[in-house]
Structure 1
Amino acid sequence: MERTPLAYAVTFNGEHISYTELNQRANALARVIRQQYQVQHQKDLSADTLIALYLDRGIDMIISILAVLKAGAAYVPISPKYPKARTQYIITDTVASIVITHKHYQNLLQEMVESLEQPLSFIDAKEGVNYDINNLNISSQPHDLAYIIYTSGTTGQPKGVAIEHKGITHSAQARLNRYPDCKAFLLVSDYVFDSSLAGITGTLLSGGKLVISDNYDPDYIVRLLIQEKVTHFLLTPSLYSALIQPITEQIKYLELKTVIVAGEKLSERLYLQHKQYAPNIALYNEYGPTENSVWTTFNHCTEISRCSDIGIPIDNVKVYVLDDQQQPVPIGSWGELYISGPGLARGYFNRPELTSEYFIDNPFTDAESTSVDYQRLYRTGDIVRWHNDGTLGYQGRRDKQVKIRGYRIELEEIENTLQQQNGIKEAVVIEQEQGGHSYLAAFLILEPHCTLNIDECKQQLRQSLADYMVPHTFTVIDAIPLTINGKLDRQALPKSQWKNTKEYVAPRSEMEAQLCELWQQILNVEKVGIHDNFFQLGGNS
């Protein structure tokens, strides 16, 4: 800020704010927060105090994040897109007494929390006009909380990941070391996801310009890239796949130097598209769970055979590849990734049992000679392996494996095989149920003017996949549904229906009739013929 006081710090929808104004407004709002807390609790705000944010995307969002940190508190982001129950849960779990929001949300929030048994006050994100704009004399300590981000999870209540100041400091410094030439960064991620910190901290600490995108529309994003002369951005492979074509059409007008993908596995198809249409733009594949402060490893993608690799650890991070007994596996063997270093979260907020399960003592360090930052391990649930050159290959998540008819199946392997077929632009494979039985459902986006022949598609799949890995249903869709963070929204995919492509042949005897009727009951299908395959119809072994 002191080096570039008049330079643009943040821009959103044509509105710009300089580093000086950003700092002054954050200082003023920080004083509002401290005063409001003192009035409400009759004591000064202390470290680890949690302040909830309920904000739309924009400049006020950035000011509020900085204000909470400057006040010596920790922020808890909540999306206005969240359902009521999730918002209530986060406010209750954190026992937040202050919410920074916009005026147009205050009545909604009041109705939402009136049934909660905790006092709650609201601060308008634009408050602080008449407050001191100079820097506050407050210094947070490395082990003080900086933020709590609630991850979705697949079952049960969301869990809050508690990150300390040393975590985001370590993460930001590593980013500055890796991308020192970031002049303008396009922020696509929602602030309820830690990937937003990659843009916020990395850009503002380097004196660059943070450009906030208002939505995921590809044409809109490309216009922003051109208008704001964006040099770097980070997004999911799903969203980047939708951007490839409009970027190609406007490539000569772009100043883009670096594309970073994260949050999902990078496919060979997307890598090839990038190399074909944007060969002069560096492509990085970053990996990192929320529990390790945004990122853990990175891979500068330069060859197709290694494009989905997650590369090497960032500065000051140690990683281990361990088997089920938590012993190191040989080079080339798959194992679970464990992480150690200053970026590790304090744990899961109010979830000591879960914290103990996933954050464990590090048996590979000498407690007397090793920094406290490396005396814990976080078990990620991600399956990786070491290559001979010291880089990490990535297979997928344990929880993305499915078991159907007794077979353990990697869904991404099927998706990659589908995307190699002519006419298929994108493919998503998920597990669905019918009549209590699981089956594989494929959802496809086709190239323009292409049609799908299911029989031919299956025949091609069987040339490289086992029969049990061939999906039972194939559904053509116009677009892949995305979450608010640009990731694949599997729950938004439609329920597919099994369609038997074989000609129906009726039973010819009483025995065949009884068997067909039995299969219809077991598989919950309307009609079974004598040539149908029990397992291809979704039966379990």
Structure 2
Amino acid sequence: MHTLMTDAAHPYDRLLDSLRGAAPWATGRTDPAPQTVHGPQDDAATEGESVGALIARRCASSPEAVALHTDDGDLTYAELGARADATAAALLRAGIGKGEIVALVFERSAEFVVAVLAVWRAGAACLPLSPGRPEAWLAEAAHRAKASLVLGRPILGHPSLPDMTEHADPVRDVNAPGDLAYGIATSGSTGTPKLVVIEHRGLTHLARAQRAFCGPLPSHTRVLLFAHPAFDAALSDIVPTLTNGVRLDVPDVPAQSGEPLTIVLTDRRTTHAVLPAAVLRPLTPGGFPDLEVLISIGDVW
């Protein structure tokens, strides 16, 4: 871990060295670090497949592998697929289908992951929202997104999913790469919350890009779901993990930083994690012998 953190700091050291040696009027002309990606990347292999279809195929090909590890136990890929099918079938019976948006109001949990996959299998898009938000904020966000239904915590004025059976026949994913996968509501700090939408193609490219960066993920890989579901950083943990057929660790208790996060990383023997820079400082370098890949992006979420 110490090596990873040192490597991450090198570009900043270079920038600071450049600034120290520059005249005050020349600081705007410091040399940037080499650019590694130039514009949109073409990937013909993603055409014709949605991210939901990729995960469904993994559920079929690796049925006994552990997909989700929670405080209540494990879900295999077969069990994850079956639960997603049951929820998707209930969504279809409720009239949800292609082009619809379903609001997901969950804390970090296995139920959230199941709900995401179910919405995709029904052909719809999901709108993750935080159950900690005030009722009026949730209602406004769901209204602006034109959400047809709510899973998780009910939202006043929006229908919830009726009772569903525990088992259902497999539901075939009908999404195309250009179909909407999810929307994220902004905080509304500059006014009312705004909706940002992402297509399946973008998530598929994300999964392939992370695989290219990290390399093939071995069967012992354990990825931490750190981000709250209301932030799309959560999907950047979920999608690459499940499309690669490895284990996603879903802690019930938030471990935002310091000792709680240290306990989660060590007890679960996390091998891969995506963490905001703000939570790295309290961590002890070298204290995580199982950690193989640490990606630090963003501020807080």
Q: Tell me, in whole angstroms, the C-alpha distance in 1 between the residues paired with 2:65 and 2:239.
A: 16
Q: State the shift of 1:80 in Å.
A: 0.7
Q: Which structure carries more relative contact order (alpha carbon 8 Å, separation 6+)?
A: 2
Alignment check: 8 A CA contact 2:226 2:274 kept:
yes
Larger Rg: 1
Deviates more, 1:212-221 or 1:58-67: 212-221
What is the aligned partner in structure 2 of residue 8 from structure 1?
66
From 235, 242, 261, the counterpart of 2:275: 235
* Residue 189 of structure 2 is aligned to residue 189 of structure 1: no
Q: Tell me, in whole angstroms, the C-alpha distance in 2 between the residues paired with 1:98 and 1:20.
A: 26
* Residue 165 of structure 2 is aligned to residue 129 of structure 1: yes
* Residue 90 of structure 2 is aligned to residue 32 of structure 1: yes
Q: What is the CA deviation profile of residues 109-159 of structure 1, one whole-angstrom value per residue up to 9, with x for unaligned ones? A: 3xxx24xxxxx32127xx543441x32134211221110011225411121
Q: Tell me, in whole angstroms, the C-alpha distance in 2 between the residues paired with 1:235 and 1:151.
A: 20
From 100, 103, 106, the counterpart of 1:55: 106
Q: Tell me, in whole angstroms, the C-alpha distance in 2 between the residues paired with 1:220 and 1:7.
A: 27
2:67 partner amino acid: A
Q: Which runs of 5+ in 2 are unaligned?
A: 1-58
2:270 partner amino acid: V
* Residue 52 of structure 2 is aligned to residue 17 of structure 1: no
Alignment check: 8 A CA contact 1:175 1:198 kept:
no
Alignment check: 8 A CA contact 2:269 2:290 kept:
yes
Higher strand share: 1
Q: Tell me, in whole angstroms, the C-alpha distance in 2 between the residues paired with 1:22 and 1:230.
A: 21
Alignment check: 8 A CA contact 1:145 1:162 kept:
yes
- So what's the TM-score if we normalise by structure 1? 0.42
3-state SS in 2 of match to 1:47: coil
3-state SS in 2 of match to 1:161: strand
1:129 partner amino acid: T
Alignment check: 8 A CA contact 1:200 1:210 kept:
yes
What is the aligned partner in structure 2 of residue 220 from structure 1?
260
Alignment check: 8 A CA contact 2:180 2:198 kept:
yes
Alignment check: 8 A CA contact 1:54 1:78 kept:
yes
What is the aligned partner in structure 1 of residue 202 from structure 2?
167
What is the 5 A alignment of 1:268-347?
Answer: none
3-state SS in 2 of match to 1:28: helix
1:90–1:209: structure 2 CA closer, same or farther, 3 Å change rule? Answer: same
Alignment check: 8 A CA contact 1:48 1:73 kept:
yes
Q: What is the CA deviation profile of residues 477-532 of structure 1, one whole-angstrom value per residue up to 9, with x for unaligned ones? A: xxxxxx6x1xxxxxxxxxxxxxxxxxxxxxxxxxxxxxxxxxxxxxxxxxxxxxxx
1:14–1:137: structure 2 CA closer, same or farther, 3 Å change rule? Answer: closer
What is the aligned partner in structure 2 of residue 284 from structure 1?
none
CA RMSD of aligned residues (A): 1.9
2:245 partner amino acid: G
3-state SS in 2 of match to 1:121: coil
What is the aligned partner in structure 2 of residue 147 from structure 1?
182
1:58–1:174: structure 2 CA closer, same or farther, 3 Å change rule? Answer: same
What is the 5 A alignment of 1:479-494?
Answer: 485=301
Number of matched pairs: 238
Alignment check: 8 A CA contact 1:187 1:196 kept:
yes
Q: Tell me, in whole angstroms, the C-alpha distance in 2 between the residues paired with 1:84 and 1:94.
A: 16
Q: Percentage identity across aligned positions? A: 28
Q: What is the CA deviation profile of residues 242-281 of structure 1, one whole-angstrom value per residue up to 9, with x for unaligned ones? A: 3x13x65x43xx31011111113xxxxxxxxxxxxxxxxx
- So what's the TM-score if we normalise by structure 2? 0.74
* Residue 120 of structure 2 is aligned to residue 85 of structure 1: no
Q: Tell me, in whole angstroms, the C-alpha distance in 2 between the residues paired with 1:256 and 1:155.
A: 38
Q: Which runs of 5+ in 1 are unaligned?
A: 38-44, 115-119, 265-482, 486-541
Q: Tell me, in whole angstroms, the C-alpha distance in 1 between the residues paired with 2:75 and 2:118.
A: 15
